[in-house]
Homo-oligomer: A and B are copies of this chain.
Amino acid sequence: MPVQRAKKQPSPSGRSLEHPDRADIRLEGVLHALSDPMRLQIVRDLAAGEGELNCSVFDLPVSKSTTTHHFRVLRENGVVRQIYRGTAKMNALRREDLEALFPGLLDSVLTAASLQASRPGGES
């Protein structure tokens, strides 16, 4: 899908991030976003920490560019919301929107991920 790469606004005052409206969030997109181990891990960490989390708290085994890329995928598919706070970028799950659109989905995915992680060979 032509993900319509926002035209890099000059953003006069502060940087702005593109987020889809609640009504534009698609189930396939959410599932695809969660189907990558890296991104699933991010979402799990995000769900564990109550509030917002800084990008760099995550100790991912990939480069910074790649991390940015994954956060972008999560954002463009409506899974997380990102906002700038000074030099840091805070990330938060869009729990309410997801719950309204797909009730129970996020919880069952998180539960499933936990179960799988505690399975023999689950972390592989």
Chain A interface residues (CB < 8 Å from chain B): 23, 26-29, 31-32, 34-37, 40, 101-105, 107-109, 111-113, 115-116, 119-120
**Besides A32-B35, A104-B108, 7 other A-B contacts (C-beta < 8 A):** A23-B119, A26-B116, A27-B112, A31-B31, A31-B35, A35-B35, A102-B112
* A116: chain B residues within 8 A (beta carbon): 26-27, 101-102
Could you list 18 examples of A-B contacts with CB < 8 Å?
A: A23-B119, A23-B120, A27-B113, A28-B36, A28-B37, A31-B31, A31-B32, A31-B34, A31-B40, A32-B35, A101-B112, A101-B115, A102-B111, A104-B108, A105-B108, A105-B109, A105-B111, A107-B108
